[in-house]
Every structure is written in structure tokens, then in C-alpha cells.
Amino acid sequence: MTLLEPACPIPTFAPADMDGAIAAARAAVGLPVGARVVAAMSGGVDSTVVAALLHKAGYDVVGVTLQLYDHGAALKKKGACCAGQDIHDARLAAESLGIPHYVLDYESRFRDAVIDQFADSYLRGQTPVPCIRCNQTVKFRDLLDVARDLGAEAMATGHYVRRAVGPDGRAQMRKAVDHSRDQSYFLFATTPAQLDYLRFPLADLEKPQVRGVAAELGLKIAAKPDSQDICFVPSGDYRTLIDRLRPQGREAGEIVHMDGRVLGTHGGITDYTIGQRRGLNVAVGEPLFVTKLDPDNRRVIVGPREALLTAALTLDETNWLGDEATIAAAAEAGAPVLARVRSTRPPSPARLALVDGVISVVFAEGEEGVAPGQACALYDPADPDRLLGGGFIQTTTALV
């Protein structure tokens, strides 16, 4: 099954308020002018504008770009970040700005922490989010160490989120002003220590304004399309990658209705994800959806749409940015939250619970689109722009 590459929309530009953008970047950094800041430069318009704004704001900027995978193949596809063309674009931008720039070979680390984990998750019947793993490991762990080694007082990225300091003096993560670009879901695993060091200068800008700033500064990437699909799958066909890395996922099995009827066969469990309707190749006169994957028995379980409704889920690998000391303390107190189970879905009212030492999220109403392996990001119901943390979904409990 091949994912079709979406058509890249024509980039839109807004008039650049350079003084305002520079002032906003300086406020986001919150350090004295002249302080050293590492700018993580992917080669895209967002991270390039961050480096440019920090340079204009008077900081000692050092650009760092990560080579994460075999960029020779990725050159054949537009819209793949951290590929060969992107490294070239980052280098040219750094040269035009007159800032030092380093390219670090992280292919081995990225393969171990992201690509292999991605393939293994599909074998377990999960739906992984590789962008979160990349932020959690290579970018916000390893790269931060590099920034400190370079003597930087902070590291800045082009993510659309806001870092704020709360009344208690602790750093908070909040949604950016452009909610349509908000990336807080993908950054739920950012730890308090990492957040203390990170800066997000684009928090107050919308994407057309960022492009306007790039054009005003004469940056060649001003009209560069945004990245599409999974960066390390240049063809967009991620199942071909999984088949190559984990061929055992192609073992055939049964497609079974949740009432026990065997409806057909499949050619590999990695072809399916929770909530999938198309491509089931079974006909029973009613719309059917994948409701569960049973990798041990190579079974794909299907049922009606209402069977997708989830009453509760459990979390693993949790992270906490809330006011309580730990997420376990918040769960033990039954803290109310807004839970976001996919980046494309709005948060839903829920509460935390602690059951036999396991963090659970209990929804006020049935929630759709919940799949093990995905992230569940948690927000504050009293302050919906504030990210409280989250975790990776391990198990789900059906509503019916």
C-alpha cells in the first residue's frame, strides 16, 4: 500500500514586521544580547528564520544540522526534512547569515532510536509517532548535549510552541499563537530540564509571517514547501520500509469480526492500523473498521464504527510538566485534563486515574481514534493552551 504524496500548497506570505519579529525572538530567548545560542537548523524555512532572527537580535548564534538517514535517496523526493538538499540549504543559509554551522552525522543514533522502534511498533500492532521519538531522543536529548558542549546558554528550534515562565518560576510549554501550526502534541515528552534550556522564537508568529520575514531577509528558502510525510521514508510508502526491516510482518493471517466470524485473510498485519476502513477486502454489507490488532495470532479484528469508541486508556513512558510533583500524584488525585490522542483531533475532557500503579486516562465520553503506540498529550482544562505532559498509549478499554 502506497501513501499518495499530498500536493504542496502554494506558500502564502504576509508583510514582514522585522522589528516586531526580532523583539519577539529576543523576548522568547530571555538572555542578554551576546549570549551564545545554538539554532537547530533543519534546512526548512522555520528553523532558518529562527537562526536569522536570533542573529539579527544580537546573539552569538551557532547553527547545527543533523544528518539523520541516507540522504542520497531522500534527495529524490521534495518535502523530506534533514535530507541532502536540506543540509545544503541549511549550510547556504548559515553562510549568508555569517554564522558558524556544523553538520553532525547522527544516522546510527537515529536508526536505533527512531527507525528500528518505528518498525518494531508496527510488528506489535501499534501505530507509532516517529516525530515524537525523534524529538524525545536525538533532538532534545543528544543535540542538547552538543549545544552545551559548544558553550551555548540555550538551544532554539523552529517549533510552533511557546515557552513561558509560570508564577512559581518554572518553565511551562504552551500552544503557539498559530493554533493551526501548534506542535505541542509532538513535544509532550519534553522534560522540565530540557524545557529550561530550550527556546521557541516563532511562538508569536503565523506561518505566512515567517515566510514574509524570510523573504524580507533575502533567504532563498522563503518559498520552500513544508516537509511532508515521514522524513525517513522518501517514497511515502512506509510499509515497504517495514517489510525490508521486519519481513516477518508479512506473515498472512485472518481478518475476524469481533463477533468471532472469520471474514477473510490478509497478507501481513503491518498493512493495518486501528480505525482503518479502506483496504480490508471483505464484504459483509456493513461498513467495517479495524478495531484491534492481535499480532501474536496474526489476526486483524474488525467491527462497526461504534466499536472504536474508547472509554479509557493506559499510559507508559509518561512525562509531566504540571504543578503537581509527578503525574502519579496528579493521577492519584483524579486531576481533570484535556486529552489529545492524535495530532489531528481536538483534546477531549477526561480525568487521570492511578490503577495498580498504572497511569490511566478516563474520558468523560467515548473517544474515537485511540490506538496503542500513539501519544496522548494532556492539557489543563482551566488553561487549555498549557501542556501538562502525556505519555504513549499502551492499552485501551472499549466503551461498549
Determine whether 231 is an active site residue. Answer: yes
Helix, strand or coil, per DSSP, at residue 394: strand
Helix, strand or coil, per DSSP, at residue 322: coil
Q: Strand 154-156 and strand 198-199: pairing?
A: parallel
Determine whether 376 is an active site residue. Answer: no
What distance in Å separates the CA atoms of residue 336 and residue 375, rounded to the nearest whole number?
18
DSSP H helical ranges for 137-262: 143-149, 192-197, 207-216, 238-245
Q: What's at 351, amino acid-wise?
A: R
**Virtual torsion, Cα 328, 332, 333, 336, nearest 10 deg:** 70
Instruction: Give, in order, the Cα–Cα distances in Å from 366 to each of 308, 335, 371.
Output: 9, 18, 14
Q: What's at 64, amino acid-wise?
A: V
DSSP of 66-115: EE-S-HHHHTTSTT-TTSHHHHHHHHHHHHHHT--EEEEE-HHHHIIIII
Query: Of the listed 81, 82, 131, 134, which one is catalytic?
Result: 134
Active site residues: 134, 231
